Structures are given as C-alpha cells and as structure tokens.
Structure 1
C-alpha cells in the first residue's frame, strides 16, 4: 500500500515517472540495473536483503554511477551511519509530507545530497552514541585549510549553505567554492560523505577542537 501510494504520487507529478517497484532489497537491485532510474527510494528494514546492502550494491556498480539512492527511514533504525557509508545520497523521514517527498526526489535526481538540517542533527546524535574508533581513520584532514575546516564542521552540524554563509560572514558563492574544494581534497562524492569524514576524523565530536 505504501509503495502504491508513492507510485501514484510520482506518476501524477509532471516530469516524474515511476519505472518500477520492489518488495525487498533483492528485488530492487535488478530493476535498478535494468531501468537505470535517476533515483531509488529505498526503505531500510526489508526481508531477504535489507536496504543498506541493496544501496551498497547499487552504488558500487560502475554501470549504475548515475543512479542515486534516497533512504526512507524512521531514524529509529540502527543503520543510518551504514547507509551513508553504503553510498546513500540522502534521507527522508517516513512522515515527510508528500510535497517534500517530491522535492527531495528532485534534489537527489539533480545530483545533490539531501541532508536537511533537521535530518543531519538526528544523524549527529547517532554519531555521538558511537564509541571512539579503535583504528586511525582512513582519511585525514591534511591539506585542508582552517576556513575549510570551519565549513566542514558546520556542514556536519547540519547547517545549510545559506546558514554557513551567514555564520562565517561569507558570500554564498564562496561557501560553495569551499565545499567544492573539500569534496576534491577529501575524495568525497557529496555532502553526505563530507559528514562522514567530519566524524571519522574527529573534527566533530572532539571537545578539544571545540566543534
């Protein structure tokens, strides 16, 4: 019933078409390979193959490089962090109003990561509950300027580009420039991965840094 509702919602929106649906993660991977949709709206908890592994399979397939996965979650799930690591481009709460669902699909289809402040702040709580890593992070912040570190920290705290510009007294264009440089220096695909880097390197959550 939920899938059917989403399909009707998408099909009645100009410029959008639902090309398929699946009852579980295993059924989702093959249609994604066949149809190559712009966006896959993925649940987390499903039988046979969960949404995290399905997302990993889709996002790691070179033939599906243009396919973006938007996770549907209650944020009671334990696997939010794993979804980011698997390559998810963003998150929607299951109680998101229909108009915001369509906006989110459009944002992700355009190649952006959907990490709205309200969503990111809940992600922060998930990161905060995690123990300190036993091994050093695979990526470091060497080569990142002090200003870029400030921008990265604010991204991880859930601020939008406009809010970052206001907080640091920068132009919006300059904020976008700093984010572009961060993506390159940290080999991150999108904003979601920048959040991961901020936490894995200790930039956020380390009281000594004051972030």
Structure 2
C-alpha cells in the first residue's frame, strides 16, 4: 500500500517556484534595507537573516555577493529609467528620482562614482553598465543650454560629486546635503521621491 505524507506536508506542484520567487524577492528587499546603511560590504549572513531564509537559499539565488548587489541596484536604475520615460518629464523631475536613490542607498552611490570606488572588482563591469544607463536616462532630458551640457563629461562628474556629498546618519540629513550639493553646482532638482507609476485617466 502506498504511503502518502500527511496533508499539511503535501504541496501543490507549483508551490516550489512560488516559494522560490518569494524567497528571491525577500532577499532583494532585505539586501536593499541593509545596503542602504552599510553599503555593499554588508555580511551576506545578515541579509539572509533579515529575509528569514538560510544562507543556502541565498546562494541558490545569488551565487556571489556581486550577483545580489546588482539585483538590488538594477531596481534603482530601472526607476530612474521609468521616470525618464514618462511623457513630458523634465530634467528636474528625473534628477529628483535620482537624488532619492542617492540618499536611500549607499550601494547605489558607489555605482555612480566615476572611478567605481566602493564597488567590488567582480561587480565593476556591470556597475559601469548601470552607470551608463543612468547617464542615458538623464541625458535624454538634458537641455542644450543646461549648466551640465557644456562638456560631455560634466553630467556624470556632477552626479558623482553629489554622491560624494551624500553622508549622514539619517535619510533626511543625506537629502539636505545632496540638495545643497546640487545647489552649489547651480542645478535645479525637483521633488526628491521614488518613481511612482502615475494612474492613467479613465477612458471615456
């Protein structure tokens, strides 16, 4: 006679993929929180604990530190790209989203430094590609007469300079310093906030 496990131990065939997706999302969320304050060198064990999974689960999804860090940073960059893709978006608005991510994530700040300082060697090539994507998103809204349009290198150099000013124990303090840095550079910045998908108007 075939023995079946108790009902509460039997899972649907597709629960595995769902659990894997939940674990991956939990790991990325935990890494984002920890990286925000500790940067890319935060212990992976702390991230696993924050996500409520074992380190074995972490390594099944992310084989090394760089893979996890870049999964988190990808979300930062995607929000900036989404902000830039909004019809009628202005440079100031996109800079506001960029600045929010600068003040929220020490790891993201490292990616935006022109010399790649703070990024592990394994992550450096992809980090550079993320930085290029940020530059492309900003440049798509850079008016010809803008203060950062004088020379090609000025745009990301300014971003790196502001990133260097983003320090402080609280997000509010980091935001004040970032805005002060932009102001010293003569650059106007819109509301500092994450990108949110704007609701579509109802169809008539």
Structure 1 length as normaliser, TM-score?
0.28
Structure 2 length as normaliser, TM-score?
0.28
Hey, which of these two has a bigger chunk of strand by percent?
Answer: 1
Hey, which of these two has a bigger chunk of helix by percent?
Answer: 2
